[in-house]
Amino acid sequence: MTTPIIIDTDPGQDDAVAILLALASPELDVLGITTVAGNVPLATTTRNALTTVELAGVPCPVRAGCDRPMARPLRTAEHVHGETGLDGYDLPAPTTAPAEGHAVDWMIETLRAAPAPVTICPLGPLTNVGTLLDRAPDVAARIARIVLMGGAYFEVGNITPAAEFNIYVDPEAAEIVFRSGIPLTVVPLDVTHEVLTTTARTDAIEAAGRVGPAVAGWLRFFDRFDREKYGSEGGPLHDPCTIAWLLRPDLFTGREINVEIETRSDLTRGMTVADWWRVTDRAPNALFLGDVDADGVFALLTERLARL
Ligand code: BDR
Ligand code: CA
């Protein structure tokens, strides 16, 4: 039995590693990759998704989605990911083109036609998924679960003092997702800041077969920003944690809690108001992860990358 998934993404080095982990894992059937504007503009995230699929050597269609948030101008993160979004290792330009059609249209058709509900893994701003649910509310019943990287509780913010990047960029889309009633698993900064690319872990990945040197190059570029910012012994490996949770939920712990998205305040826009201590009577709407076996995640990732 394989789990059918759609990866919705804005590569980004950590997004690219998540794509490789999914494509290397026989438990998952990646029906397609949809791209969104986020870390870098849409044309670049789409190109980077194609580059990553070609590096994996596992065919998988890539489709471009929304080029800006539902209600706001786009905010990007070249200061973290570099101008190309995949700075750190030079790969050849992709030889394949994106599949035809808008990613949101494709998702609607695919979800309606799928023999069983499909899991969606959003790794960037939630614009494509919010647009999908806004435009075709019937497909909510065709989504088994949404497993997303975004938000924070104890760690609070990385793009503002109050907000994590993916939720901050498109809080209106995030609000639609968190109010959808679809089962949600949320991988927040609280978890990803435990999963650090230490020198020893990155060196092990570099030795992990054909794709190892590219992944290590990306991670060494990506983690310079967070090492400097936090004084940590590595950078947080955000997005691959979503795929790792699908493969090995036993490596994580969390709580079923209520999470609301702040959309109105300029000061706290995009904050995930997570009722971790259950101090309200608002109904739980998400499995909000809180802890992780980081060594277990890196062992899984390294072993899977070596298969490509
Ligand atoms: C998230 O923002 C992006 O920079 C990363 O790819 C990740 O999805 C972390 O806040
Ligand atoms: Ca991302």
Report pLDDT for 1.
87
Looking at residue 103, what is its pLDDT? 98
Q: What is the CA radius of gyration of the chain?
A: 18
Phi and psi, residue 52, nearest 5°: -70, -40
What is the CA(43)–ligand 2 centre distance, in A?
Answer: 15
Residue 160 pLDDT: 97
Interval 109-119 mean pLDDT: 98
Q: What is the average pLDDT across 81-91?
A: 96
Q: At what angle do helices 127-135 and 103-113 cross, to 10 degrees?
A: 60
91 Cβ neighbours under 8 A, 6+ residues apart? 51, 54, 55, 214
State the pLDDT confidence band at 155, using cuts at 50, 70 and 90.
Answer: confident
Instruction: Dump the DSSP string for 161-204.
Output: SS--HHHHH-HHHHHHHHTS-S-EEEE-HHHHTTSB--HHHHHH
Residue 167: Cβ-neighbour burial (10 angstroms; 0-12, 13-18, 19+): buried
* C-beta atoms surrounding 202 within 10 Å: 24
Instruction: Give the integer Cα–Cα distance in Å for 37 and 126.
Output: 10
Amino acid at 85: G
How confident is the prediction for the chain on average, in pLDDT? 97
Please give the CATH number for the structural domain made up of 3-305: 3.90.245.10
- C-alpha closest to that of 189 among 272, 300, 120: 272
Please give the average per-residue pLDDT across 75-85, as a whole number.
Answer: 96
Average pLDDT on 264-291 reads 97
CA distance 75 to 71: 12
Report pTM.
0.98
299 compared with 155, residue with greater pLDDT: 299
Q: What percent of the chain is predicted at pLDDT more than 70?
A: 100
Told to judge if 238 belongs to the known catalytic residues of this protein, a careful annotator would answer: yes
Please determine, for residue 246, whether its predicted confidence score (pLDDT) is greater than 90: yes
pLDDT score of 146 more than 90: yes
Write out the two tokens for 162: 């109050």
Mean pLDDT on 247-270? 98
Residue 105, classified by CB atoms within 10 Å of its CB into exposed (0-12), middle (13-18) or buried (19+), is: middle
Q: Which of 79, 81, 102, 238 is catalytic?
A: 238
Q: What is the pLDDT of residue 156?
A: 87
Edge-to-edge strand ranges of the sheet holding 28-35: 62-64, 28-35, 3-9, 118-122, 143-149, 184-187, 286-292, 252-257
Q: pLDDT tens-digit profile of 29-50? A: 999 999 999 999 999 999 999 9
Predicted local confidence at residue 199, as pLDDT: 96
Distance 292 CA to ligand 1 centre (A): 18
List, in order, residues 6 or more apart from 208 with CB less than 8 Å away.
215, 302, 303, 305, 306
Read off the pLDDT of residues 163-208 as tens digits, 9 standing for 90 and up. Answer: 999 999 999 999 999 999 999 999 999 999 999 999 999 999 999 9
User: pLDDT class for 142, splitting at 50, 70, 90?
Assistant: very high
The pLDDT of residue 255 is 98
Asked if 84 and 46 touch (Cβ cutoff 8 Å), the reply is no
pLDDT at 226: 87
pLDDT score at 152: 97
Q: Which two tokens stand for residue 216?
A: 């290590």
Confidence bin at 213 (pLDDT 50/70/90): very high
Q: Which chain residues have CB less than 5 Å from ligand 2, an ion? A: 10, 12, 15, 123-124, 239
Q: How far apart are the CA of 13 and the centre of ligand 1, in A?
A: 9
In a 13 Å sphere around the CA of 19, the CA atoms on its Cβ side amount to 36
Ligand whose nearest atom lies closest to the CA of 13: 1
How far is residue 143's CA from residue 31's CA, in Å, rounded to a whole number? 13
Q: Which helix (H) or strand (E) covers residue 290, if one does?
A: strand 286-292
Query: Ligand 1 atom closest to Cα of 12?
Result: 6
CA atoms within 13 A on the CB side of 304: 24
